[in-house]
Each structure stands twice: as C-alpha cells, then as structure tokens.
Amino acid sequence: MRILFLGDIVGRCGREVVLSRLPTLRATLALDLVIVNAENASHGFGLSPGIATDLLNGGVDVITLGNHSWDRRDLIPHISAAPRIIRPINFPPGSPGNGSVQVELADGRKALVVNAMGRLFMDPLDDPFRCVTDLLTRHRLGVTTQAIVVDIHAEATSEKWAFGNVLDGRVSLVVGTHTHTPTADHRILPAGTAFQTDAGMCGDYDSVIGMTKEPAMARFIRKMPGERLQPAEGDATLCGIMVETDDATGLARRLAPIRQGGLLSQTLPDF
C-alpha cells in the first residue's frame, strides 16, 4: 500500500498547497491512502467542518488532530458524524469522536489510522502507550488490516522515539506531528515499522512554526501577552512522508520525505 502522510496544515496557504497539489500527487505517486493532520487548518487554530469537508473532498482520506482539536467548537457536534476525522485516542473517555478509524480502499484493502497525543510538555491525558497497545489487541497487522498508521502528536522527540520503538513490528508507520518542523530521521525500525519524529507542517516556513513572526517573536522577548497570533500567508511548503508497505505483512518496504513548494528544499519520493 502506498501511503502519504502530511503534517499539520497551518492556515489558508497550508490548505491551498495541499488542495492544489494533492490530485497530481495522488496520480503520479499512485497513492492508495492520504492522511493529513489538520489541527491548525482553520486560521491556525482548529478545524472547521467546512474545511474538513473540503479536505475530504479534495483527495484526503483521513484527518488527524491534536491539542487544537476543539479550538473550533463547531467541529464538536460535527465530528461524531464524520468518522474519517479522528482526535487523539487518549482524550478523556466520553470525548466526542474517535481516536482511530478503519478505512476500506476501493479495492477492498483495509487500513487503520490512529491518532495519539504525547504527555511530555503537553496537557495531562491518559497514557497514549497503553491506549494504542490496547487498541492493537483488536487489530492485527497483515491479518485484520493491511496497514496501520499512527500519528503521535507530541512535543518531545524522546517520547516519539519511544512510541516508535514500542510499536515496532506491530504497525506500518509511526509519524510525529505538532512541532511543525520536519526531521531528517525517517527510517525503518528493526522489526519493520517506518518512523519519522516529525512530518513537518504544510504552511509558510517564513514564520514561527506557521504564525507571523513579529507577534510570535514579541511574546518571547517581552514575556507579555500581545497581539493575537495569525497564520503566515506566504508561499507554503507541503511537507510529509510517503511509505510503501507490504500488503502481506503490513510492514514498511521503503519510505521517503516529500517537500513541495515554498521555502524548504524540494524533494519527491522516487519510488
């Protein structure tokens, strides 16, 4: 299965780079499954139902979220009826929506997508390790599903590395989100799980993690609340990772980063 995962979409320019390039990428890379993290898609904070619908109609199969899941309150009544939008699995019991979704491709193959949130330097939540390993007692890679992708939305690189190693051999891909910065450590772990600490963001990198520079810099310098943060709206880079898995085992065969448009060095998977 050929899977594309794109990191946090930030603001209008992030949405536009994804929606404008995805149809061509789907075709040229022969993608079977496209997953995006969209927790910052609506003006940097949260995801509106309308934008979620645009993404799902524009070539995205599953949307993941994170600590900004409920910034747009209108998503709360919408998410229960939109199973392809998932929020972290370790949110409190009774939270709206689900932390995972099993999707069936047009050819009948199945993929499970899971969203979890780290706890180091983030809001206290249930144990993401236990929540995901509990879920995986009901889903067996290569048996009940051809692929399993886990978005670990976390601040600390250590927690994400630990997550990848705990799940090594049991899922196809563990990819980090939330730091909005792509890491160069994409690799296949010893038991066959593809891993990258952070997919990076789809947004304008002439910014502070996607937000306009001046107010963001002022917060650090003055240590006072200031102007509201706004998404930067220059040329955006589409940023993420592509993985090809073996349908028989569900494990990763190869992976490569993708960066298209905007400021970052450009790269496209060559398989």
Binding-site residues from annotation for Fe cation: 8, 39-40, 67, 153, 178, 180
Tell me the catalytic residues. 68
Tokens encoding 22: 């995805």
Residue selected from 21, 40, 47, 186 as contacting Fe ion according to rule CB under 5 A: 40
Q: Is 246 left (phi over 0), alpha (psi -120 to 50) or beta?
A: beta
Please, which residue, 139 or 178, has the CB nearer to Fe ion?
178
Output the known binding site. Answer: 8, 39-40, 67, 153, 178, 180
> Could you please report the per-residue DSSP string of 104-118?
E-TTS-EEEEEEEE-
Please, which residue, 201 or 258, has the CB nearer to Fe ion?
201
Does 46 interact with Fe ion (rule: CB under 5 A)? Answer: no
Residues paired with 36 in a beta bridge: 6, 63
176 to 215, contacts with Fe ion by CB under 5 A?
Answer: 178
Give the count of residues interacting with Fe ion (CB under 5 A): 6
The Cα–Cα gap between 267 and 47 comes to: 28
Angle at 88 between CA 179 and CA 93, to 5 degrees: 145
- Sorted by sequence, the CB contacts under 8 Å of residue 28 that are 6+ apart come out as none
CB of 261 to Fe ion, least distance (A): 19
- Sort strands 33-37 and 62-64 into parallel, antiparallel or unpaired: parallel
Please, which residue, 29 or 209, has the CB nearer to Fe ion?
209
Does 2 interact with Fe ion (rule: CB under 5 A)? Answer: no
- Sorted by sequence, the CB contacts under 8 Å of residue 81 that are 6+ apart come out as none
Using the rule CB under 5 A, give the single segment among 6-14, 114-122, 245-253, 259-267 that binds Fe ion: 6-14
Does 66 interact with Fe ion (rule: CB under 5 A)? Answer: yes
Residue selected from 58, 67, 83, 102 as contacting Fe ion according to rule CB under 5 A: 67
Does 72 interact with Fe ion (rule: CB under 5 A)? Answer: no
Tokens encoding 51: 């934008």
CB of 153 to Fe ion, least distance (A): 6
Report which DSSP code applies to 40: B
Does 8 interact with Fe ion (rule: CB under 5 A)? Answer: yes
The secondary structure element, H or E, covering residue 257 is strand 252-260
Please, which residue, 98 or 179, has the CB nearer to Fe ion?
179
Tokens encoding 189: 């772990």
Please, which residue, 1 or 202, has the CB nearer to Fe ion?
202
Classify the C-alpha dihedral 52-247-197-21 as positive or negative: negative
CB of 155 to Fe ion, least distance (A): 8
116 to 175, contacts with Fe ion by CB under 5 A?
Answer: none
**Which residues here bind Fe ion, judged by CB under 5 A?**
8, 39-40, 66-67, 178
